[in-house]
Structure 1
Amino acid sequence: MKKAILDFSDGELIEALKKDHVTNMAISYLYRSYYGVLSNHVRQNMGSEQDAEDVFQEVVVTFIGLVKNGKFRGESSVKTFLFTLNRFTWLNELKKRNRAAHREEKFESESESEEGDVSRYLVERESRHMVIAMMDKLGAVCKSILLSYYYDNLSMKEILPLVNFENEQVLRNKKYKCLKSLEQMLTTNPELAQRFKAALTYGN
């Protein structure tokens, strides 16, 4: 009987996660190797054990997706990348909870004038699901960038580790293209634009 491999180098782990079917062995390795330190960070920053478990699960799913899509380039170790992703994921959750009683807070307007008409569609309101549904049409990367920037109020520097782009300028260029795509989508479909706007302003 062939002995199971219980440990992976970073390179072996990445190759295992790239496969169409990610093995339980690879996922078990992630939990065994990184859950302790990542969950400890959440617990030490106002999180419960359940919070730690939920965040870690989200981090693992996100990481596997990045690997499969070739977005993880190995410029940092798996441990460092996972810790950064875990930290920002929990930070996002804390920000959402902190904003729960302040749904009407103002959002930072974009400096580029071309983005002005689109920015207002991204104000946080009760109809979050309508916003996410629209972002889904733009693809996973655009969705992550736009929701992180407008909904979670993250800076370009904070978003960069989440999408693993080369630098902030590349990220800004991608964000601009995402916004133009959204603007075109809404411009060519007035009914959709009206529904989207109405969803965001519901409850005013």
Structure 2
Amino acid sequence: MQTVKNFSDAELITAIKTGTNIDNAVGFIYRSYYRMLENFVLTNSGNEMDAEDIIQEVLVVFIDIVQTQRYRNEASVRSFLYTLTRNLWISELRKRNSDSKRNGFFEASREKEEEDVSDFLIYKEAQVLIVELFERMGEKCKQILTLFYYENLSMKEILKQTSYENEQVLRNRKYKCLKELTDIIQQSPTIINNVKSALQRSK
């Protein structure tokens, strides 16, 4: 019987940063934190499908942050993932034009690390550099990510502009596109250096 490995925060970050044992590290994150993150979405106007989509995106963004040296160890992995989930869900509610559901979120007190994460997400979506990365992807991924991140369309709105059979298929495709984007970044040292330089200038 295979032994399930537990990870400390330091071991998780090392595994993700180096790519060594990363599958087990991601599996540990799912086992340890999925229910907590899902519960946040479920108790704030979301459903199980919303939670699954957001958590998939959280994992991709978290891996990207760690591998581009943006994780500063100022917060635990648990707190960092919670904050990512919170910010991405607020962003999704914005796209659904649900002011009444999100006003309370904005007024809630924030932990210090949230400011770093929020700034990074806003910057990540705003910079021309990311558009250049989209150009390296297939037309379908480029279309989905552009509509979602730059035109701020909801998944239902994107579905109307694409040929996917239903919203779940579209969500799965978006997740694969995000993973492809992360792979492109990791395979090109030049891109990584450009991202790091741009991030330094944004501080």
Q: TM-score, normalized by length of structure 2?
A: 0.50
Larger radius of gyration: 1
- Tell me the TM-score normalized by structure 1: 0.49
